[in-house]
Structure 1
């Protein structure tokens, strides 16, 4: 059954934060997940991510195939997180208290905040360039600040407006990137640069890692945008709607990026936003393409600001016991987060491609163990049964710290170090593999293999789902 969206004014600020969404406030259909994640991935940073595989040595054909494999594998993990939203009605990182403990969840949360901040900052660099082109100003700082103000406004308004922006980005993205792809084939001999290099395992695995890393880093906040769906919404439908939107949108953008990097080389590397505007042709059309860039970046940057606010609030409330905050405090958190991301963006715009590649792969190292623990516990240990009131009470079922989960998490992160291929460090096993980075595979498989048998003996899941005000709630 599809429940229509409520009739409240779209620009009215969202009331809910880290508390459970009551059944009478649930609305929408899983298709909203498709448009949100499609729109969030049809954007210039995903184009850059796809270009990186070619920039660092892969043939465009093998890069596209590797990116597809990575997007599918990472997208499946990401969509499994999304499927938790309708059943729990909670932000993703609040639910991770069931695995790590009320205080223990703060460790991955701090890393999540850094992730949101990093993506918000790197995205603001490119979006700021688009703003500069639209307004004909020659100041990267001004463009970044204007984009930051737009991001703060949409994120403060919240969930409903974010979904609307996602729908707009979906339409704009399909039209804009289809046009750009046509122009690319008209202006360049694309066939002459595809399939001209032999298969190289190191760059192929890099492409897979870039695709997987892109998807996996959505995991800590993807359920934030499915939690308003009615509790009766099928987990399978939510999974496929999220998976299809994110994988199709990202692969479309990354494929375009790989082809652009193959044909344009330095012309694209030196000015990514300017290049797509030049590719668009006439000035009027270029202006529309800059708007496509802006709307796509606005969608995903609002997810970063909104998710950053949720993660900071989840960290703070672990220690003060609050479950709700005022509208003014909510706005202050979001504006403060956005302001910091703007400052970082202004200072980090140099050497963007290299910094972004290393940023994505480092994040992959710290979030694959978290995903492995969260999904293993939710689907295999607790079997989708959670004591929601206990998530807010350190003295209840889940306790303050879950030593089992935290130990497996730390081991999962450390075990990846010998397999890393980073600018500052290359692991000894990576050198033996010819530079191929398989750390994320080690992080997922090893962490899940460690956590599952230990959690079966130490966890205490409820016999059935326990929602707030349920007298059946029990504690340790």
Structure 2
């Protein structure tokens, strides 16, 4: 029984005989993965850094829908290919060349693991009556264990978290409305383009950051699963969950001010009550963060294996190897969490916006290649063969990726770097829009020269090339 529960696949193709579930599973997973304290804090940042309530809410909705649509297009790839998301990058960058975006993806996973563990560690410390350091370590260990068990327990955790956290957030919203003058908050609307675009960027970057691993959790769906269904259920769960949490964060930050900034977890729990009620909400916070932290750990291990296996020629990984890679991600994330726990808010905001610089070009290239150039068909064996049709390094695609990153720098606004075109735009950060458009156009022009139709032959239990209709 235990062997059936513990996942055995890693970067290899999931055979049709082991596919299961339905597209609705993506809704519950991504709803649960977004109803948590870090999403609340992300929404609160739009107000903490100068935005008003009304335009912050509108900006967050727009960012969640735009970024969520891009993220859901990646999710729709999973059932058709049966592969983790970043393995597909070998078709664009080469079997070895994919290591370039992979290094940045791994950095992202470690950063998100750390930021989530800081907040969940505070909740865990309250539950266990210890300090924040102990809480961080305990939470990290639980995350590693769940990630090691793998796919089935991750989806189960998502279903449980989606119900428990949704009910908890409804109750907290009622308590907030009872305590704060929400009408007065909503009446104070003063549009500022830079602050509006900050809200859009915060939520868009939140959604786009799921792109490098979203197909990892749809690849076990049957190959016949509708691409449209996978797209819409993923978008619905992720956009609804994140907007719900972020809108709550906006209202909490606007009404609480310094109380929220000083202690995000403690203030949110205080809305619920004291004693056993407070303990329950600390548990809810830990549960919500456990869901998404497991996704980050699991995705990090997948990305690390993908990068290393491109040089070693591996096509699969043992369960002992899985545990080792997951342990590395867990330890790295825990070290960063312990080092940065005292300067969380400012560091997290800059981390989110800086991530966008590196992941929008990757996302643009991947989606253009999959939907427009390859027409949703890849030569799967060649993804593991440095001498195959995708080669070891695709320098043309890597150059486009580099241009996509550099093109954003004049428009980027962070605490440690501000581009020269930010001030003429009134302080607005539009770098992520440039990061999507420039590499998408360049890659499309470049790839069209060698584009051709892939064959749809089958080899054993998995196809040499697979196709599907776009959502």
Pairwise TM-score range, normalised by the shorter structure: over 0.9
2:394 corresponds to which residue? 402
Aligned pair partner of 1:76 in 69, 76, 82: 69
The Cα of 1:136 is off from its aligned counterpart by 2.1
Residue 219 of structure 2 corresponds to 227
1:279 maps to 2:271: yes
Give, in whole Å, the separation in 2 of the partners of 1:130 and 1:109.
Answer: 31
Offset, 1:336: 1.9
TM-score by length of 1: 0.95
Q: 1:242 — aligned with what?
A: 234
Question: 1:427 is paired with a residue of what secondary structure?
Answer: coil
Counterpart check, 1:30 vs 2:23: yes
Unaligned runs of 5+ in 1: 1-7
Cα offset for 1:286? 1.2
Assess, with a 3 A threshold, how the Cα gap between structure 1 residues 467 and 111 changes in structure 2: closer, same or farther: farther
**Residue 459 of structure 1: how far off its partner (Å):** 4.2
Cross-structure match for 1:57: 50
Distance 1:320 1:468 in 2: 24
Match of 1:89 in 2: 82
Q: Which residue of 2 aligns with 1:452?
A: 444
Q: 1:341 and 2:333 equivalent?
A: yes
Q: Secondary structure at the match of 2:97?
A: coil
Structure 1 CA distance for aligned equivalents of residues 406 and 8 of structure 2: 40
| Deviation per residue, 1:350-386 (Å, 9 max, x gap) | 2211100000001001000000000001000010010
Structure 2 CA distance for partners of 1:253 and 1:470, relative to 1, 3 Å: closer
Q: Please tell me whether the aligned partners of residues 364 and 436 of structure 2 are also in contact (alpha carbons under 8 angstroms).
A: yes
Instruction: Summarize the Cα distance change of 1:470–1:182 in structure 2 as closer, same or farther, 3 Å threshold.
Output: closer
- Of 108, 114, 134, 1:121 maps to 114
1: CA distance, partners of 2:460 / 2:176? 55
Q: Which residue of 2 aligns with 1:149?
A: 141
Aligned equivalents of 2:221, 2:393: Cα separation in 1: 30
On the 8 A contact 1:389/1:468 being kept in 2, the answer is no
2:282 to 290, 296, 312: 290
> Judging changes above 3 Å, is the alpha-carbon distance between structure 1 residues 346 and 467 closer, same or farther for their aligned structure 2 residues?
farther
CA distance in 1, matches of 2:382, 2:83: 13
1:454 Cα deviation from its structure 2 partner? 1.0
> Does 1:172 pair with 2:164?
yes
In structure 2, the partner of 1:320 is: 312
Map of 1:380 onto structure 2: 372
Residue 388 of structure 2 aligns to a residue whose secondary structure is coil
Is 2:201 aligned against 1:212? no
Aligned to 1:44: 37
Tell me what 1:300 maps to. Answer: 292
1:103 aligns with 2:96: yes
Q: 1:117 to 1:472 in 2, by over 3 A?
A: closer
User: 2:357, 2:431 within 8 Å by CA — same for their partners in 1?
Assistant: yes
* Of 435, 446, 453, the match for 1:443: 435
Out of 256, 265, 277, the residue aligned to residue 257 of structure 2 is 265
Corresponding residue of 2:153: 161
Q: 1:68 to 1:425 in 2, by over 3 A?
A: same
Cα pair 1:129 1:273 within 8 Å, conserved: yes
Following superposition, the deviation at residue 194 of structure 1 comes to 2.3
- Offset at residue 12 of structure 1 (A): 3.2
Q: What is the Cα deviation at residue 11 of structure 1?
A: 7.5
1:184 is the counterpart of 2:176: yes
Shift of residue 290, structure 1, vs aligned partner: 1.0
Tell me, yes or no, if the aligned pair for 1:388 and 1:468 is still in contact at 8 Å: no
Secondary structure of residue in 2 paired with 1:323: coil
Q: Is the 8 A contact 1:404 1:455 kept in 2?
A: no
Q: CA deviation at 1:472?
A: 7.0
Match of 1:12 among 5, 28, 48: 5
Q: CA deviation at 1:463?
A: 3.1
Cα separation, 2, equivalents of 1:61 and 1:385 = 44
The structural deviation recorded for 1:394 is: 0.6
TM-score by length of structure 2 reads 0.96
RMSD of the TM alignment (CA)? Answer: 1.4
SS class of match (1:415): helix
Mapping 1:416-435, distance limit 5 Å: 416-435=408-427
Alignment CA distance shift 1:10-1:147 (3 Å): farther
Q: Which residue number in structure 2 is paired with residue 362 of structure 1? A: 354
1:389 and 1:466 in contact (8 A); partners too: no
Q: Distance in 1 between matches of 2:464 and 2:103?
A: 33
Shift in CA distance, 465/94, structure 1 to aligned 2, threshold 3 Å = farther
Provide the rounded CA distance (Å) in 1 between the counterparts of 2:127 and 2:29: 24
Matching residue of 1:463: 455
